[in-house]
């Protein structure tokens, strides 16, 4: 759309701004695309769409205003306050989503697989090169508006082409994961089918359970799925899928909190820990503060930690000195 607007601008006059309406899906939608590339959970939600739509609406209004003023439908004013405010808000929001797009490529880079890291590097290189050339062009070609617009259009086309390459790469990579694997020997070619996904996830679920029970990883404060993936050296999405399918029907936080609550219960009824406050028990059980601990404990047992301790004391399960 940017290229079409530039090529036809002199021929169709003010109508080039109607073509410009097609540019409402630029940095805002590219941000949504970047989220779909590198996230496995909560990829695009309502508030993400709302922000993208707000930027589209601002661009739509700006192009519509330019068309109306160029066609003399409304009186044009070079110092229009409305135009200035509209432009500043659009630039501000667009800059924000550009930063967010770049962050998507950097997010969880250390825990990504080798293939995913290579794809992130392509994404970040394209993104960084586009922004860098754009800023350099604004500085070096400030007095030549036409040349600057052509360079910006070329940058956009470069991003589109590289994004298509990245899309094809990711689709091909996912397809290869589901294709049968082959192994050849000097005597014969042996064809083997990949292990069913359910068996892979089931084995991973056992590894996660072992890591939790034997390694007590759940006691780590602010534990995330990425931490488990890093400990087991597997992609984060596989850990999420195994947790969802084979370990519990709860979400990740509820699963971890249930393990922490069980640990806290053993601490609360231990006679040696009667001098420990509820805050100390919560910290020793992996909670960051007493508030989330109390809420999680009551959700699991129906009692607060203090009530649970008092109940066991009254039953004689805990002997106070």
Q: Is residue 185 part of a domain?
A: no
pLDDT over 70 (residue 93): yes
Residues 124 and 25 in one domain: yes
Contacts 24+ apart (CB under 8 A), 50-53: 51/93, 51/97, 52/28, 52/97, 53/28
DSSP 275: T
Q: Is residue 142 part of a domain?
A: yes
Residues 141 and 58 in one domain: yes
More confident: 142 or 308? 308
Q: What are phi and psi of 191, to 5 degrees?
A: -100, 130
Residues 145 and 130 in one domain: yes
**Of the candidates 6, 2, 8, 7, which has an alpha carbon nearest to the alpha carbon of residue 22?**
2
Residues 289 and 260 in one domain: yes
Residues 141 and 212 in one domain: no
Burial class (CB in 10 A: 0-12, 13-18, 19+), 127: buried
Least trusted range by pLDDT, from 80-84, 118-122, 297-301, 310-314: 80-84
Q: For residue range 150-180, list pLDDT tens digits in order.
A: 888 888 888 889 888 888 887 776 555 444 4
Residues 74 and 122 in one domain: yes
Note the pLDDT of residue 185.
38
Which of the listed residues 204, 221, 247 is the one where a domain comes to its end?
247
Please give the structure tokens belonging to residue 277. Answer: 């406050």
pTM: 0.48
| Share in percent of the chain as helix, strand, coil (round to 5) | 75, 0, 25
Question: Percent of the chain, pLDDT > 70?
Answer: 79
Query: Which contiguous run of DSSP H or E holds residue 161?
Result: helix 145-178
Q: Is residue 63 part of a domain?
A: yes
Q: Which residues lie across from 184 on neighbouring strands? A: 189
What's the per-residue H, E or C state across 97-153?
A: HHHHHHHHHHCCCCCCCHHHHHHHHHHHHHHHHHHHHHHHHHHHCCCCHHHHHHHHH
Rounded mean pLDDT, 266-289: 88
- Dist. CA 114–CA 159, nearest whole Å: 23
Structural domain range at position 146: 2-176
Rounded mean pLDDT, 312-319: 60
pLDDT band at 294 (very low <50, low <70, confident <90, very high): very high
Least trusted range by pLDDT, from 83-87, 259-263, 276-280, 281-285: 83-87
Q: Is residue 206 part of a domain?
A: yes
Residues 9 and 92 in one domain: yes
Residues 15 and 154 in one domain: yes
- Dist. CA 20–CA 66, nearest whole Å: 10
pLDDT over 50 (residue 195): no
Please give the structure tokens belonging to residue 8. Answer: 């036809």
Q: Is residue 186 part of a domain?
A: no
Quote the mean pLDDT of the chain. Answer: 78
Residues 213 and 300 in one domain: no
Q: Is residue 188 part of a domain?
A: no
Q: Is residue 184 part of a domain?
A: no
Residues 214 and 277 in one domain: no
More confident: 43 or 198? 43
Rounded mean pLDDT, 103-111: 83
Which of the listed residues 145, 176, 207 is the one where a domain comes to its end?
176
Residues 109 and 223 in one domain: no
Note the pLDDT of residue 75.
63
Note the pLDDT of residue 229.
86
pLDDT band at 186 (very low <50, low <70, confident <90, very high): very low
More confident: 218 or 10? 218
Which residues are within 8 A (CB) of 169 and not within 5 positions of it... i.e. 6 or more apart? Answer: 119, 122
Number of structural domains, the chain? Answer: 3
Chain Cα centroid distance, residue 136? 29
Rounded mean pLDDT, 244-266: 81
Note the pLDDT of residue 219.
87
Which of the listed residues 149, 176, 203 is the one where a domain comes to its end?
176
Which residues are within 8 A (CB) of 279 and not within 5 positions of it... i.e. 6 or more apart? Answer: 290
pLDDT over 50 (residue 193): no
pLDDT band at 297 (very low <50, low <70, confident <90, very high): very high
Q: Is residue 183 part of a domain?
A: no
Cβ atoms within 10 Å of 61's Cβ, excluding its own: 14
Residues 215 and 199 in one domain: yes
């Amino acid at each position: 759309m940017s290229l079409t607007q530039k090529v036809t601008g002199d021929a169709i006059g003010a109508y080039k701004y109607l073509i410009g309406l097609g540019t409402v899906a630029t940095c805002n939608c590219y941000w949504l695309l970047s989220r779909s590339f590198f996230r496995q959970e909560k990829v695009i939600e309502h508030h993400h769409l709302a922000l993208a739509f707000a930027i589209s609406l601002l661009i739509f209004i700006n192009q519509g205003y330019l068309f109306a003023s160029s066609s003399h439908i409304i009186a044009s004013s070079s110092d229009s306050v409305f135009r200035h405010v509209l432009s500043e808000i659009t630039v501000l929001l667009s800059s924000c989503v550009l930063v967010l797009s770049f962050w998507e490529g950097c997010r969880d880079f250390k825990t990504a697989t080798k293939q995913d890291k290579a794809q992130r590097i392509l994404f970040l290189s394209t993104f960084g090169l586009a922004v860098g050339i754009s800023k350099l062009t604004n500085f070096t070609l400030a007095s030549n508006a036409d040349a600057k617009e052509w360079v910006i259009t070329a940058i956009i086309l470069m991003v589109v082409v590289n994004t298509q390459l990245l899309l094809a790469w990711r689709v091909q990579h996912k397809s290869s994961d589901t294709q049968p694997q082959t192994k050849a020997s000097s005597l014969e070619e042996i064809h083997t089918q990949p292990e069913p996904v359910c068996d892979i996830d089931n084995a991973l679920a056992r590894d996660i359970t072992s890591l939790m029970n034997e390694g007590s990883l759940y006691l780590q404060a602010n534990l995330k799925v990425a931490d488990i993936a890093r400990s087991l050296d597997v992609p984060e999405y596989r850990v999420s899928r195994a947790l969802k399918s084979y370990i519990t029907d709860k979400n990740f936080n509820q699963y971890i909190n249930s393990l922490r609550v069980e640990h806290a219960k053993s601490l609360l009824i231990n006679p040696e820990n009667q001098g420990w406050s509820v805050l100390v028990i919560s910290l020793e059980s992996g909670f960051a503060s007493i508030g989330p601990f109390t809420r999680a404990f009551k959700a699991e047992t129906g009692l607060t930690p203090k009530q649970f301790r008092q109940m066991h004391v009254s039953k004689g399960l805990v002997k106070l000195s």
